[in-house]
Structure 1
Amino acid sequence: MPYVQVDDLTIHYEREGKGAPLVLLHGMGNNSQSWGKQIEVLKKCYTVIAWDAPGYGKSSDPSKDLTQFKEFAIILKKFLDKLNLEKVHLLGHSMGAATAIDFVNLYPCFVEALILADTTRGSAALNDEENERRLNSRLSSIERMSPEELAKQRVPNLLSPYASEEVRNQAAYIMSQVRPAGYRSVAYSLYHADQMNLYPQINVPTLIICGEEDKVTPVSESKIIHKKISNSELVTIPKTGHLCYQEEPALFNSCVIQFLQECQSDGKYKKEMKT
C-alpha cells in the first residue's frame, strides 16, 4: 500500500492511472474508499490520487487536533511534494472542498483546475450561536457515540430519498471508520472557517457541483460560492444528496471529465460547457 511520511504523519493514498494528476479530497465522514467509482473511471484519463486526510482511513492521527483547513492544505502540499508533483487538478468534496479552497489560495500556481463538490462556506459564516451549537454537536457525537452509531445517525441525512440500498450500506460502512482525532479536527476547522473572502481570489477554472437535494450544504450555498468565483460554472446532480458522487457516479464523473477536457482545450476554460 502506498504511504508517504509528512513530518510526524504517515499519509496513506490510492494512486491509479496515467495522465495529468487529479487529486481527490474526501469529506468529513469519508476516506479514500469513498472515491471508488471515481477512480474506476477517471483513471482511464488521469493519474488519480485519493488521500486519506490526517486522522482518516489508513493515515495516522495528528499529534494534536488541527483547527483550520489551512493546516490540512499545508499538509496536502507537503504530501504532493513528496510525490514530486508540480501541478494538479484538484477535486474536493465537502470538507475536502474547503481544504481545496485554502490550498488554491495558498498555492495558486500549483492548481490547474478546481472542482468543488457539495462545498461549505464554513460554520463561521453563520451566526455565533449556531456556529457554537454545531461545534458542540459534532464534538459530543464523536465523544459519546461509537463510529457505527454515528454513521447510523448521520448517513440518512447525507443521502437523497432516491439512494439505493447499496449506496446507503457503503456510505454507512465507510463512515463507521471515522476516528475521533480526524473528526474533531474537521469540527474545529469548520468552526473557524469563513472562506467568503477567499472565493474572489480564485482565478483558476472552477467547477462547482452540488446534489440537487443536498440538505447538508444545499444548492443555495453553492450558488453563493459560484457568484463569488468569477471563472466558475455550477452544475447540480438531480435526485442526489450531499454524497452526490456516490449516488450518481456516472453523471458526476462525466461532469468532471467534460470540465477538465474543456480546461485542457486551448489551455483555458470555455464558458459554453454543456451540462
Structure 2
Amino acid sequence: MLSYLEAGKGTPVVLIHGNFACKEWWRGLLEDPPQGARLLAPDLPGFGESPAPEGFTPSIPGYALALRAFLEEVGAEEAVLVGHSLGGAVAMEAAGERTRGLVLLNSAPPSGLLTPEAYYPVLESYRQDRKALEVALEAMAPTFRPPWFGELVDCAQRMHPAHYQGNARALSLWRAGRAYGGPVLVLYGTLDPLISRAMAEETAAFFPRGRLLVLEGVGHSLNLEDPPRLRAILEAFLKEVEA
C-alpha cells in the first residue's frame, strides 16, 4: 500500500507527483480542496514514505502498476488522475476505461523526455549536495515557493538511490502506447524551464479529447506556485467530467 494524504469529499481525484518529489508537493491544494473532490495524494514507490520493492528498477509502467493497485485499494478506480511532470507520464500509462479524466500539469510528453547524457552525473550528485538540489528544485517553482519548501528538498534527497538517474532513464525510454479516450486537460506554465510549449501541444494533440490551457506567469509547478488557481481549474474540470 502506498503512503498517501487525503482531503475533501466527492469525486476521487488522485494527485501524482513528479521526480524529486513526494505527496507533500500537493499540500497547498490539500489544505483547500476543490469543491466536490476527494483528493488522494500518494507517494510513488521509492518516494516519500512509500518503500520501493526488492529489486526495484524505476520505470513508468512499474509506477503505473503500483498506482492502479493503489486505486483499487482505496476504492478510487473511477478517479480523475492529475499528474505533474513525471507523474503525468504515470497518469497516461495508468489511465483505463474507468478513469474519469486526466489533468496533465507540465507533464512529460507521450513521446518521452530525453535527458542529455552529460547531465546524469549531475543528477547523481544531488544525493550528497543538498544545496545544488535545492537550487534545481527552486527552478521548478520560479514564481513562488511555500514556507515548507525546505521539507520538499529533504524529501527529494531521501528518494531511493535508484531514482537519481533511474527516473530520467525511465522517461527517456518510455513512450505512451495508447491514447486514453476520455477528457484530457493539459496545463502548461509559460515560465517552465523543463517542458516546452511544443511538448505541451504534442501532449494535448495525442488525445482524441485533449485540450491545452496555457498559463501565463507560472512555471513548472502550479501545485506549488498557485494552489488556488489549480483548485479553480480542477473545480471547472470536475463539472465538465460530471456533465
Change (3 A) 1:144 1:237: closer
Structure 1 residue corresponding to 2:75, chosen from 84, 90, 98: 84
Change (3 A) 1:153 1:54: same
Q: Match of 1:192, as an amino acid?
A: L
Q: Is the CA contact 2:190–2:219 (under 8 Å) kept in the aligned structure 1? A: yes
TM-score by length of 1: 0.79
The reply on whether 1:102 has 2:88 as its aligned counterpart is no
Aligned to 1:235, the other structure's residue is in SS state strand
Aligned-residue offset at 1:52: 0.4
Structure 2 residue corresponding to 1:115, chosen from 103, 121, 130: 103
Q: Is the CA contact 1:123–1:190 (under 8 Å) kept in the aligned structure 2? A: no
Matched residues, percent identical?
21
Aligned-residue offset at 1:33: 0.6
Aligned to 2:237: 259
Aligned-residue offset at 1:47: 1.4
- Describe how 1:164-203 pairs up with structure 2 within 5 A: 166=147, 169=150, 171-195=152-176, 198=178, 201-203=179-181
Q: Which has the higher helix share?
A: 1
Aligned to 1:262, the other structure's residue is in SS state helix
Aligned-residue offset at 1:74: 0.9
Name which one, 1 or 2, has greater alpha-carbon Rg: 1
Aligned to 1:209, the other structure's residue is in SS state strand
Aligned to 1:214: 192
Aligned to 1:18: 9
Aligned-residue offset at 1:120: 1.1
Runs of 5+ consecutive residues of structure 1 not aligned to the other structure: 5-10, 266-275
Which has the higher relative contact order, 1 or 2, with Cα contacts under 8 A spaced 6 or more apart? 2
RMSD across aligned positions (CA) = 2.5
Change (3 A) 1:170 1:210: farther
TM-score by length of 2: 0.88
Structure 2 residue corresponding to 1:60, chosen from 41, 51, 54: 51
Aligned to 1:34, the other structure's residue is in SS state helix
